């Protein structure tokens, strides 16, 4: 069996022969052990705290399949529906795809490292990137970014193979991955745009002249066409959502953009990411992929200007970590004791990321440590059954005559999803549940004979909504019983009577995007 393969290299655009890359065998055993360890950790901790608010929302959308939604493509809701159908309607069952996505990320990182010439040690180090902050967060909960991370790394691996191996047919695989990615998140278009601009700036421009590249682009459009057509037919609702997010979270996103780059893989492994940037830019053998460096810079500028979420760079940062595993491996090989140093850095990174990203502590310990204050993913998993029970107490206090003409209206999709999941357990009528947020506003309209509305967390003390009724009374305030602040804690549950117009007439006013 051949132990290594020397890749044929074309000349670069200046006519100079590019250096060759010797690809070592794929390190199946150590990479498999990393992937298995991460999968076991994620599976063991999956149900500890409860559903994330996005997961509760996806459960609902999954029962209403469509070519697209106002706030996202259809892929993640469909995946959620499939997971609950196959593995059970539980926190653990819903999160199986997220765990599998984390396994895929570990393997893809190792394959990227192999593509640039890393051996078993470098491939294993690359795979350990999944045990960093982002890898564990996105592997713990099933959100749009869980699959998106796999898509980005798949696209980047295919691009590396097309460029470094001079095998342009890999552009077809890259195009297919982009098309699949469009079913889950349109963000993949930002990666494509950044790389195209970077290649135009620093080369090799011959990549973009390949007919295979254009064929890959056509394939991406064909595969992603359903959601793209949905966007055009509905006046590009994702642009409306992007603007809403910019208004609500833009300042915070800009503030966190650079700090997030430092902790994407983890501070102990940050030198590996830096080594990847330097290697991609300076090494002759990697000259065909040097566009990764200005491409990353362009993405940072774009996110800063657009005030987009800082985690949008995660896939590219992880790929640069994988590229950096080659110089890291070579650095280790020169001095034997450096292996212990890197091993310690990997272990420290995994332990810190696990403590921060995963529910390894009881909530009482979380309360004392205060880790959730910096981790919105943790905060968004806390308290949902208790909140629903408190709403149920308000509903039960209504007279039977009031309940006959009453509905529940929630302020956000997390609250809606929580009642949808737990409401029947506490006696709430889930068939009279509504929300004006995002796609939920389009799912159903409250009946015209409604005279009483229980508002669940709709703004502080009802806000402007309260003025649409003859009277509104705060009946309760949400409290999960812990000293951990989240979006729901302290929000009101109000009973509002005598709407100023019928609810179908008022319903357009309830619409809000965020």
For 105-120, give the DSSP string. HHHHHHHHHHHTT--H
pLDDT of residue 271: 96
Pairing relationship of beta strands 452-456 and 406-410 according to DSSP bridges: parallel
CA–CA gap between residue 510 and residue 221 (Å, rounded): 35
This model's pTM is above 0.85? yes
Q: What contacts 89, CB < 8 A, 6 or more positions away?
A: 59
Dihedral over Cα of 366, 369, 373, 374: its sign? negative
Residue 376 tokens read as 């919105």
Q: What contacts 335, CB < 8 A, 6 or more positions away?
A: none
> Is residue 204 reached through a cis peptide bond, with omega within 30 degrees of 0 on the bond before it?
yes
Helix axes 28-45 and 133-140, enclosed angle (nearest 10): 50
**Alpha-carbon 244 to chain mean position:** 18
pLDDT of residue 460: 58
- Pair 296, 149: CB distance under 8 Å: no
CA–CA gap between residue 271 and residue 262 (Å, rounded): 10
Q: What is the pLDDT along the chain (514 residues), one digit of tens a residue?
A: 334 445 544 444 433 434 588 899 999 999 999 999 999 999 999 999 999 999 999 999 999 999 999 999 999 999 999 999 999 999 999 999 999 999 999 999 999 999 999 999 999 999 999 999 999 999 999 999 999 999 999 999 999 999 999 899 999 999 999 999 999 999 999 999 999 999 999 989 999 999 999 999 999 999 999 988 998 888 888 888 888 778 877 788 888 889 889 989 999 999 999 999 999 999 999 999 999 999 999 999 999 988 888 899 999 999 999 999 999 999 998 887 899 999 999 999 999 999 999 999 988 888 888 888 888 899 999 999 999 999 999 999 999 999 999 999 999 999 999 999 999 999 999 999 999 999 999 999 999 999 999 998 775 555 788 889 999 999 999 999 888 888 899 899 999 999 999 999 999 999 988 8
Residue 275 tokens read as 């080594």
CA–CA gap between residue 311 and residue 322 (Å, rounded): 18
| Other C-beta atoms lying within 10 Å of the C-beta of residue 322 | 32
């Amino acid at each position: 069996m051949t132990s290594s393969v020397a890749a044929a290299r074309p000349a670069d655009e200046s006519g100079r022969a590019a250096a060759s890359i010797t690809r070592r065998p794929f390190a199946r055993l150590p990479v498999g052990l990393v992937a298995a360890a991460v999968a076991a950790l994620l599976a063991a901790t999956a149900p500890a705290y409860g559903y994330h608010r996005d997961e509760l929302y996806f459960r609902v959308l999954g029962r209403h399949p469509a070519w697209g939604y106002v706030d996202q493509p259809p892929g993640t809701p469909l995946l959620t529906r499939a997971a609950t159908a196959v593995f059970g309607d539980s926190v653990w069952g819903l999160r199986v795809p997220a765990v599998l996505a984390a396994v895929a990320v570990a393997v893809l990182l190792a394959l990227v490292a192999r593509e640039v010439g890393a051996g078993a040690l470098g491939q294993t180090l690359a795979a350990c990137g999944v045990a960093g902050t982002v890898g564990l967060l996105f592997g713990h909960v099933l959100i749009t970014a869980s699959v998106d991370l796999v898509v980005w790394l798949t696209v980047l691996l295919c691009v590396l193979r097309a460029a470094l191996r001079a095998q342009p047919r890999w552009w077809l695989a890259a195009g297919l991955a982009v098309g699949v990615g469009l079913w889950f998140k349109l963000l993949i278009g930002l990666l494509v745009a950044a790389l195209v601009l970077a290649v135009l700036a620093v080369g090799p421009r011959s990549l973009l002249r390949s007919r295979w590249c254009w064929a890959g682009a056509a394939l991406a459009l064909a595969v992603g066409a359903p959601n793209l057509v949905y966007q055009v037919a509905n006046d590009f609702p994702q642009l409306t959502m992007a603007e809403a997010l910019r208004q609500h979270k833009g300042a915070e996103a800009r503030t966190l953009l650079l700090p997030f780059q430092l902790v994407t893989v983890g501070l102990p492994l940050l030198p590996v990411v830096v080594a990847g940037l330097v290697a991609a830019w300076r090494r002759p053998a990697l000259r065909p992929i040097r566009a990764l460096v200005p491409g990353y810079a362009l993405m940072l500028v774009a996110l800063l200007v657009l005030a987009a979420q800082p985690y949008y760079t995660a896939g590219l940062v992880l790929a640069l970590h994988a590229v950096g595993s080659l110089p890291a491996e070579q650095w280790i090989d020169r001095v034997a004791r450096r292996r212990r140093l890197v091993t310690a850095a990997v272990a420290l990174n995994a332990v810190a990321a696990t403590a921060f990203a995963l529910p390894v502590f009881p909530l009482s310990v979380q309360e004392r440590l205060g880790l959730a204050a910096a981790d919105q993913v943790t905060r968004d998993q806390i308290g949902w059954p208790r909140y629903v029970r408190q709403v149920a107490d308000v509903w039960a206090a209504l007279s039977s005559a009031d309940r006959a003409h009453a509905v529940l209206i929630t302020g956000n999709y997390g609250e809606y999803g929580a009642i949808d999941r737990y409401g029947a357990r506490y006696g709430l009528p889930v068939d009279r549940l509504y929300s004006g947020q995002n796609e939920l506003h389009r799912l159903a309209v409250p009946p015209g004979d409604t005279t009483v509305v229980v508002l669940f967390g709709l703004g502080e003390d009802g806000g402007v909504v309260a003025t649409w009724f003859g009277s509104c009374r705060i009946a309760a305030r949400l409290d999960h019983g812990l000293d951990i602040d989240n979006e729901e804690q302290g929000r009101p549950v109000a009973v509002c009577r005598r709407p100023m117009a019928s609810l179908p007439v008022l319903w357009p006013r309830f619409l809000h995007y965020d």
